[in-house]
Amino acid sequence: VPKQQSVQLSKTGTVGVLTVNRPPVNAVDAGVRSGLMAGLREAALDTELAALVIVGAGRTFIAGADLSELGAGISNPSYGDTLAAIETFPKPVIVVLHGECLGAGLEIAMACHYRVAITGAKMGLPEIGLGIVPGAGATQRLPRLIGPVAALDMLLSGAPIDAARALDLKLIDAIAEGDPITAGVNYAHNLVASGGPVRPTRLKGVATNDFDDAAIAVLVRAHSKTTKGRTTQRAMIETVKGSVTLPFDEGLALEKTLSDASLLTRESLALRHMFFAERATSAIPSVGKDLKGLPIKAIAIVGAGTMGSGIAMAFGDAGYRVTLVDAQAEGLERGRKIIRSTYEANTRRGRMTAEAAKAATARITPTLDPAAVADADLVVEAVFEDMELKKKVLGQLDRIVGPRAIIATNTSSLAVTELGAATRRPDKVIGLHFFSPAQIMKLLEIVRGDETSNETLATALEIGKRIRKIPVVSADSFGFIGNRMMLDGAFREAEQMMLEGAGVDQIDRAVEAFGFAMGPSRVNDMAGVDIGTLVRRQLMRRASRVDPYCIVSDTLTPMGRVGQKAGKGFYSYSADPRVGELDPEVTGIIERLAAERGITRSVFSADEIVERFVLQLINVGADILDEGVAYRAADIDVVWVHGYGFPRHVGGPMFYADTLGLTHVAERMRYWYDRKGSYWKPSALLERLAAERSSFTNFDRRRT
Site size toward ligand NAD, by CB under 6 A = 24
Whole-angstrom distance, CA of residue 177 vs CA of residue 474: 46
Cα 644 versus chain centre, distance: 12
Q: What is the DSSP string of 271-288?
A: HHHHHHHHHHTT--TTTT
DSSP codes of every residue in 315-361: HHHTT-EEEEE-SSHHHHHHHHHHHHHHHHHHHHTTSS-HHHHHHHH
Nearer to ligand NAD, 305 or 653 (CB): 305
Q: How many CB atoms lie within 10 A of CB 129?
A: 20
CA distance 386 to 383: 8
Region binding ligand NAD by CB under 6 A among candidate stretches 242-250, 283-291, 429-437, 518-526? 429-437
Q: Is 495 a catalytic residue?
A: no
Nearer residue to ligand NAD within complex by CB, 248 or 480 = 480
CA dist 228 and 220 (Å) reads 8
Contact 54, 45 (CB under 8 A): no
Q: What is the phi/psi pair of residue 365, to 5°?
A: -110, 105
255 lies in the binding site for ligand NAD (CB under 6 A): no
Catalytic residue among 87, 100, 127, 255: 127
Reported as type and span, the H/E element at residue 380 is: strand 378-381
Residues 386-415 that bind ligand NAD (CB under 6 A): 389, 393, 410-412
Question: How far apart (Å, rounded) are the C-alpha atoms in residues 74 and 135?
Answer: 11
Nearer to ligand NAD, 459 or 538 (CB): 538
For residues 399 and 702, which CB has a smaller minimum distance to ligand NAD in the complex?
A: 399
Please tell me the distance from the alpha carbon of residue 339 to that of residue 312, in angstroms, as a whole number.
9
Cα torsion for 443, 447, 452, 457, to the nearest 10°? 20
* Binding of ligand NAD by 325 (CB under 6 A): yes
CB of 216 or CB of 325, closer to ligand NAD? 325
Whichever of 29 and 326 has its CB closer to ligand NAD, that residue is 326
**Min separation Cβ 532 and ligand NAD, Å:** 10
Can you tell me the distance from the alpha carbon of 325 to that of 351, in angstroms, rounded to the nearest whole number?
27
Q: Is 436 a binder of ligand NAD (CB under 6 A)? A: yes
Using CB under 6 A as the binding rule, whether residue 479 contacts ligand NAD is answered as no
Quote the least distance from Cβ 625 to ligand NAD, whole Å. 23
Q: How far is the CB of 562 from ligand NAD (least distance, A)?
A: 13
CA distance 470 to 642: 8
Question: What is the C-alpha to C-alpha distance for residues 384 and 530, in angstroms, rounded to an integer?
Answer: 14
Q: Which residues are CB-neighbours of 220 under 8 A, at least 6 positions away?
A: 156, 227, 233, 237
Identify whether 333 is a catalytic site residue. no
Among 77, 126, 331, 482, binds ligand NAD (CB under 6 A): 331
Measured CA to CA, the distance from residue 51 to residue 36 in angstroms comes to 15
Rank residues 157 and 410 by Cβ distance to ligand NAD and give the closer one.
410
Please give the helix or strand (H or E) that residue 116 lies within, else none. Answer: strand 114-118
Among 326, 476, 635, 637, binds ligand NAD (CB under 6 A): 326
- The per-residue b/e assignment along 402-420, b for 16 or more CB within 10 angstroms, e otherwise, is eeebbbbbbbbbbbbbbbb
For position 431 contacting ligand NAD by CB under 6 A, the verdict is no
- Reference 484, options 590, 629, 303; nearest CA is 629
Report if residue 327 touches ligand NAD, rule: CB under 6 A: yes
Nearest residue (beta carbon) to ligand NAD:
305
Return the half-sphere exposure (C-beta side, CA atoms, 13 A cut-off) of residue 493.
Answer: 27
> Pattern of binders to ligand NAD over 337-356, x per CB under 6 A?
--------------------
Out of 88, 328, 353, 574, the residue judged to bind ligand NAD by CB under 6 A = 328
**Can you count the helices (H) and strands (E) in the chain?**
32, 17
Binders in 362-391 for ligand NAD, by CB under 6 A: 382-385, 389
Min separation Cβ 435 and ligand NAD, Å: 6
Among residues 87, 100, 107, 500, the one annotated as catalytic is 107
Binding map of ligand NAD across residues 12-41, x = CB under 6 A, - = no contact: ------------------------------
Closer by beta carbon to ligand NAD, 231 or else 436 = 436
Secondary structure (3-state) at 434: strand
CB contact at 8 A, 556 and 501: no
Instruction: In angstroms, give the least distance from the CB of 412 to ligand NAD.
Output: 4
Complex with ligand NAD: residue 304 or 539, whichever CB lies closer:
304
β-pair partners for 102 = 124
Task: Convert residues 304-323 into a mask of x (bound to ligand NAD by CB under 6 A) and - (unbound).
Answer: xxxxx---------------
CA distance 536 to 542: 10
Query: Considering the complex, what minimum distance in angstroms separates the CB of residue 381 from ligand NAD?
Result: 8
Least separation in angstroms between residue 375's CB and ligand NAD is 18
- Contacting ligand NAD within 265-304 (CB under 6 A): 302-304
Q: Are 658 and 642 in contact (CB under 8 A)?
A: no
Q: How far is the CB of 508 from ligand NAD (least distance, A)?
A: 20
The answer to whether 130 and 144 have CB atoms below 8 angstroms apart is: no
Query: Shortest gap between Cβ of 578 and ligand NAD (angstroms)?
Result: 17
Q: What are phi and psi of 369, to 5 degrees?
A: -90, 110
Q: How far is the CB of 436 from ligand NAD (least distance, A)?
A: 3
Give the nearer residue to ligand NAD in terms of CB position, either 110 or 550.
550
Q: Just list the catalytic residues.
A: 107, 127
Residues forming contacts to ligand NAD in the complex (CB under 6 A) are: 302-308, 325-328, 331, 382-385, 389, 393, 410-412, 434-436
